[in-house]
Structure 1
């Protein structure tokens, strides 16, 4: 199975790209969904998180207490690294397992926001980056959820830079124009991936 890792900064328009690939019949795995699953009640990661952070890290249902953890990370930034040291190896393992399962699709896309930051490139035959100007990222996130500019810039600073993403990409989608323009690029890329997928199975 030909595998494509898809990524992009906050507000770059990854979701728009994912929806269009799905409309073309392509299976897309969501790393964020996997990340949410591993911190649900009863999952092995929760015991490790409890040991690391204490009872307060879990809510009444036994799942991750997200509001408490956000506050913890805000007051003690190193808590983020401690949490990710537990969760990210499990997320990576689940992604690999999910990719190995049989899928009815011409090729497989995995949407991973932190693909570059967590060095997932080697898992994929192609790395697709959704790209736009930084000022467009800020404007889109503000329009989407009304976030403060300083918060958006802080998130962008914590992510891989635009240059780092482009350098790691085998393919780039320019999402600085209209949705029609994005879809036209995806149509061309879809045909290219179909050819590459066909070559991969020969």
Structure 2
């Protein structure tokens, strides 16, 4: 089974691309959504996070205290590094279990913004980088998240790996720049992956 990673910075449209692969019948693993689930329900990780960040990491009813953790981690590089070092191994195991449950698929897709930062790319056979120009990303994010300012968005983007680096390291690039059609790009990659799987078989 081929394992295809999809990455790109905030606002490039990774989720839209992944929905297209899902419509083609390809299982999609959303690392961000699964990370939130694992942080809520993985008892071992909950103990590790509580030990590292204090009992405030979770609310009294067991929910993840996202605001507290975000403030603790994102304004302190060492805390952010610690948080990632605790969460990523558990999400990695969750992904491995998920792959095992999708063995009948010709290939699977994993969506992860931090594909390179978390070293998750090492589990993938090929990587797709989704690209959109900065001004397009900012416009999308201001529409999607009206509570955020342009300064907030630029601060988030500045902390992510540069798009040029992601594109240089990826085997494929999808341009979601509101100029080029997405569907033909996704279909071409889909057909190529299917052909590659059949060639292996």
Q: 1:132 matched to which residue of 2? A: 132
- Deviation track 1:136-164 (CA, whole Å, cap 9, x = no partner) reads 11111111112211111111111110111
Q: Does 1:193 align with 2:187?
A: no
Shift of 1:77: 4.4
Q: TM-score, normalised by structure 1?
A: 0.91
1:40 partner SS: helix
Q: Is the 8 A contact 2:3 2:125 kept in 1?
A: yes
1:159 partner SS: coil
| Separation of aligned partners in 1, 2:74 and 2:7 | 25
Q: TM-score, normalised by structure 2?
A: 0.92
Report the more deviating stretch, 140-149 or 96-105.
96-105
Q: 2:171 matched to which residue of 1? A: 170
Unaligned runs of 5+ residues in structure 1 are none
| Separation of aligned partners in 1, 2:72 and 2:151 | 19
Unaligned runs of 5+ residues in structure 2 are none
Q: 1:94 matched to which residue of 2? A: 94
| Separation of aligned partners in 2, 1:10 and 1:42 | 26
Shift of 1:177: 2.3
Shift of 1:74: 5.0
| Separation of aligned partners in 2, 1:60 and 1:102 | 36
Q: Is the 8 A contact 1:27 1:103 kept in 2?
A: no
2:28 partner SS: strand
Task: Give the aligned length.
Answer: 200
